[in-house]
Amino acid sequence: MEARAGLTRATIMLSLGMALSGTAGLFSISSGQPTFNVVFFRCLFGALALIGWASLRDGWRRLLGVERKQWPLVLVSGICLILNWLALFEAFHRTSIGFATIIYHLQPFWIVLAGGLLLKEALSRHRIGWICLAFAGLVLTILPKLGDMQTDRNWLFGIGLALTASLFYAATTLTTRAVKGVKPEVLSAVHCLIGCIAFLPVLNLGTLQTGGAATWGWLVGLGVIHTGFVYVLLYSAYPKVPTMVIAAAAFLNPAAALLSDFLAFGRSITAMQGVGLALILLAGLGVNLGWPFFVGKLRPSPQKSYRPSENPVGGSEG
């Protein structure tokens, strides 16, 4: 009974974290700030929240205890993470929260492809099949917007940014996997500090002066809630739940993004785009859980399934 209660609590925490992460786009756009400002303050308030949490767990000492040989990987993974945020938040502005989120969920497939091409991991025909299905889903999401892209270059640029964000997230995951002996919350705090340093020179103070209390509320929320509270929920839940639960809970992220986009801005996706999103998410389940693409006996994949616990930033929104 105690084990079941623990699994239930972890599942609730995971579900809440995934759902909250899907509202990051709402906070970004509602702040009314340019993307560079949004990313800087997400990094700033996120770093403060994560350092505070790590200090409560006696993890703050490890902030200065990262081994020197680990720092190149830490820096590369941090730069990829903040560039991922930058591209994704700008894609929200140029397309929509829901549309960019659909495209962003291609990131697990970049990880699989990179593993096969760069790390020489076996790329089975089943995984190739799921990847093809995911890109078929991408085509379905883009088709209804072809007319808009011909008249509005922002849409085309936004698609490119969302794809770029998913690529940077995949790079973050792959480099973070190689960082050993650093607590996840400490590593994420360091990543946020890297973002603060990188974006401080391009901070737009003029737009901050025109923003009121609501602007600061959205920015603080983006850092404390989406980078602090959400990360703590995910870090705490991932080790306690099976991969199947993690993969299923991932559906809550795009669902929350689409719902917030509709409720706040009245924007929705077409039926065809809904089918495309379903195909992308189904393919993600197939890859992560090792499902056979063709009809046959269900058996686990011989390769290690990707678990967002290795870097929960984008297994959710990023």
pLDDT reported for residue 309: 41
Q: Which of 13-22, 116-125, 204-213 has the lowest mean pLDDT?
A: 116-125
pLDDT tier for residue 145 given thresholds of 50, 70 and 90: confident
Report how far residue 265's alpha carbon sits from residue 38's, in angstroms, rounded to the nearest whole number.
19
13 or 180, higher pLDDT = 13
Tokens of 102: 């659909």
pTM of the model: 0.86
Residue 47 confidence (pLDDT) above 90: yes
Whether the Cβ atoms of residue 288 and residue 109 lie closer than 8 Å to each other = no
* CB atoms inside a 10 Å sphere around CB 244: 12
pLDDT reported for residue 303: 44
244-276: per-residue pLDDT in tens?
A: 788 778 888 999 999 999 999 998 888 898 898
68-88: per-residue pLDDT in tens?
A: 888 899 999 999 999 999 999
Distance of CA 15 to the CA centre of its chain: 15
What is the average per-residue pLDDT within 212-220?
94
Domain boundaries, the chain: 2-315
Which residues 6+ apart lie within 8 Å of 315 measured at CB? 234, 246, 250, 253, 308
CA distances to 22, 106, 166, 251, 274 from 287, in Å: 22, 11, 16, 15, 20
Say what the alpha-carbon torsion angle 36, 37, 38, 39 is, to the nearest 10 degrees: 50
Tell which residue, 251, 254, 237, 244, has the closest CA to residue 290: 244
Tell which residue, 237, 238, 278, has the closest CA to residue 255: 278
